[in-house]
Structure 1
Amino acid sequence: MLTVVIAMVVILLLAAAVVLYAAYPARGERPPVVPWLGEAMERAADAVPTLDPEQEHDWSLRR
């Protein structure tokens, strides 16, 4: 029972972080209550490698 409760709390925290990121840093704004969390999310998003739109490749396995 305790494992389920801990797992649900972790899932809810992760979901809240995704919603917070989509609501503020993804749009270029700072969260009003926790600006340090917004800065940390921006640094994490900048550290993740992304594909450039100009270098579009078909990554599917179909030919």
Structure 2
Amino acid sequence: MMLFVLVVAGLVMTFVAFPHRGRRVPQASWLGEAMERVADRAPVLDPERDEAAAGRRH
């Protein structure tokens, strides 16, 4: 179980360090491409909508 946790943590760190910033993963282009596909499908929050909602609360 600990190995699984370490692998997931490594993948998260790699995602934050590279595809999230728009960079390629060195030495593992297949991993970078897979992470880019996941990032493209992931839901994102609309900053303008969040700001408008925050303005209504105050």
Report if TM-score (shorter chain) is over 0.5: yes
Q: Percent identity?
A: 48
Answering whether residue 42 of structure 2 is matched by residue 48 of structure 1, we say yes
Which structure's CA Rg is the greater one?
1
- 1:13-40 per-residue CA deviation (whole Å, 9 max, x = no partner) reads 0000011111111111101111111111
SS at match of 2:48: coil
Q: Secondary structure at the match of 1:55?
A: helix
TM-score using structure 1 length: 0.73
RMSD between aligned residues? 1.1
Which structure's relative contact order is higher, taking Cα pairs within 8 Å and 6+ residues apart? 2
8 Å Cα contact 2:19-2:25 kept in structure 1: yes
Q: What is the SS of the residue equivalent to 2:47?
A: coil
Deviates more, 1:8-17 or 1:38-47: 38-47
Query: Given the alignment, which residue of 25, 28, 31 partners 1:31?
Result: 25
Gaps of 5+ in 1: 1-6, 59-63
Shift of 1:45: 1.2
